[in-house]
Structure 1
């Protein structure tokens, strides 16, 4: 997948170890997210997320992305995408976070819409994700962006994730 094609508005690049501090600073201000989805963010946790793969997925199909402002090159959002999971026509959003300084302005919804439209152009038919049960911000955001609960819940050590999907 050509990740640069996911956005015309922002610079998109695969995040790597040189981006860890920027990602950490973007995430650490989002206390509400980590209240519902512990533990609190750490550099080590970000590294683990960058390398974590669902069963049967190869490293080539995982994209831990940074979205940057083209003017000042500031990191605005982070997104973890997994191609072809759980099936070949589905894209899985493993993580998405927007800089708290620009939340509430519609930027996250615009970004999600742009990325999903571009993924549809690449041939994907559906997007899936899991959001943490009880987190009102996540619940409202994903529902507003046309993700529908599948009725499936995933139990993790410290929280429950609601399985949701959207046709592209």
Structure 2
């Protein structure tokens, strides 16, 4: 009986190794890399600007009271660099059973917690803090006929 179990495991392992791989490391996908630029992110369907103080937020995802934000574009660039230099791979792919994937890393960057917004949905007063972590959310965006993985958003957390 143990011989059959081992043989079954070997066959399963062989089948898994020859199955087509649909996943790709998120950071190697061109649409993900391009969407890390806050100016391009919104055009790709992302909400990154919602979490950068001074950036124009997406129309339907304004900055609101309590929203954690990177203190400025430079703080976001440091957070992105921390992710791209992190060891290990973040896999984005259809077979993982989801169209969204999140990763939280211990990253300390200058950050702000929004305390007041204007009528346009922009934060006008915020309290500074240094993040303990940053969460990065990758997701599928775009029209059904041409979906693409992007950086949907990222935000610091105290």
TM-score (norm 1): 0.27
Q: Which has the higher contact order (CA 8 A, sep 6+)?
A: 2
Larger-Rg structure? 2
TM-score (norm 2): 0.28
